[in-house]
Structure 1
Amino acid sequence: MKRKNIVLLLVVVGLGLVLSGCGAKKDVTDYSKAEHWLNVPTSTEKQVDVFYLYPTTYAPADQTNPSISTIDDAGMMANAKLAYDRQATAFETVANIYAPFYRQDNLSPVDREETIAGIPTTDATAAFEYYLKHYNNGRPFILVGHSQGADVTSNLLSGYLKEHPDVYQRMVAAYVIGYTVTEDYLAANPHLKFAEGPDDTGVIVSYNTEAPEVLAPGNPVITAGALAINPINWKRDETLATAAENLGSIGLNKDGSAVRNAEGIIAPVMNFADAQIDLDKGALICSTVNVDAYSPGSATFGKGVYHTFDYPFYYFNLRQNAENRSDKYLEKK
């Protein structure tokens, strides 16, 4: 009798594991639904695509809300559109831009990397696979992400693209900005390489922007061993790139969207942001911007952290660089 009970228990447990596995498999956003895409271009006239993942835009009203958003969370979706406007549009002259909505972590203080490697990365991977199968048509592509979106992008690079080298061969570059890429990460993923200049392809571009001095609580997105490349002069050393060398920053409205002129065009703001790498910190230092106005500090980011402005400060430099790397890729292929 005891043996029967044990067998029955094993069957029940086994069935539970199967059902659990089925449930986990189903817990992926369905990217065949148009409402689960932030942007899908209506035409594909460009020779290159961008696959864009927005930063953390999920901010629940109180702690009773789940730490992971739903795919249709209204606040996340609205803020994702604003992030797209100040970041992804930098690439619209060179690429057809595809941007999925994905479920996000709300800056979990514990096991954050493990959490982001779960549902957010699962969704992004599913979206990327759907994009490759239904939208890409074999074109070369650029990965673009910021903050949590860059974290998830790094998981795509170390996961899906490692497992699919044929797909990785079509990657022009990955802009993993607002998140730390380290030597340890590259050592653990020898198929990846960090950019060394403005022309190399199949590489990672990364940096995190700060003022010369950062106050408590500091910059949580920079960790030991952080690597950076200067988005103005595209050097890895501490050579200063002056604000006069900058191809153009952009202004932001109070809601975080890009400032446009009367014709609806995002115009460059000249002579605004310089850039110099601090090799010891692994940070990109901007010394010409008014800290009080642009980074007064918050509970998450200390005064002097220009996290929101990683793309806006160097918007037109990133545009020109994506165009250049795409040209170099297409020339080789």
Structure 2
Amino acid sequence: MNIDAALAERFAGAPLRIGTRTSVLAMTQAERVAALIGEFGVTTEIVPIQVTSDLWAGDLSEIGGKAAFSKQIDRALIGGEIDVAVHCVKDVPGDVPLPEGTAFGAYLEREDVHDVIVSRDGTPLADIPAGSLIGTSSVRRRAQLCIHRPDLRTERIRGNVDSRLKRLREQDGPFAALILARVGLQRLGLVGQVTEVLPVEFHTPGEGVVGMVPPVGAGALGIQARTADTPVMSMLDELNHPATAGHILAERTMLHMLRGHCNSPIAGYATTTPDGQLSLFGMVFDQDGSRFVRSQALGDPADPAALGSRVAADLLHQGAGRLITATRK
């Protein structure tokens, strides 16, 4: 039986239910997945699920770390209330395994991985006055910003992209600028808000360039399903982008071996070189960026996990474990 026929039989008289968070960005991403699934002749239904992290303005470590982004969605998937779940891969914890009986059946082709500056009045990062307040909830971004602009202050700003932009534009508001992911702004049609795109390459202090190495899983959407649901897993295999899947496996293997948690400033970015090799660059910082370790290696694209393990081992040899332990609360 071909995939279309198996899906038609599996979802005869009922839609395929897509679980997602409730934010505008999450719903937009789910709609993209629904359109792709619809090409198999399957009717879909998007099921918005309120997750703990979207109701919490404090430190994620106080509510279970990044797992708070997905535990309600995981429960719905395991319980059969939804058939697939759509996640931003960067929000999937590396120190907590996926629930037993579930797996990512597809990674969609990776999109933009750059971080950007969105400033109140269009001022680029280099010209923002000392002492100004920059909004970011990412420990990775905060550590890298501190390396280059230790004279700036940072403050956690949680919430949806649109609510964060609204806070930036508040009259007499506290923030001079925000650091955001360009891909989120692109998906929402808000890329015109961008003041400056930060390079993904690391630059040492004094070079005059503020780089922002991406998080593990940046720019990629993952579609999770029950492994026993053969028709759905077969469909997702058709949607999977092999190069992205390889990059993500290398990055997440590194993250898993580092045993990072939600307060660990960790960056990792895998790419394919022009000659077809797999490249992985990884960094671990302390909270203020005053100490960091970095590693880059090339590997066989047929074995991304081996490359991820090698980069993680090098980082640990340089002292990454001590930096990560120091960031635990």
Instruction: Name the TM-score, length of structure 2 as normaliser.
Output: 0.32
Q: Which of the pair has the greater relative contact order for Cα pairs under 8 Å at 6+ separation?
A: 2
Larger radius of gyration: 1
Structure with the larger strand share: 2
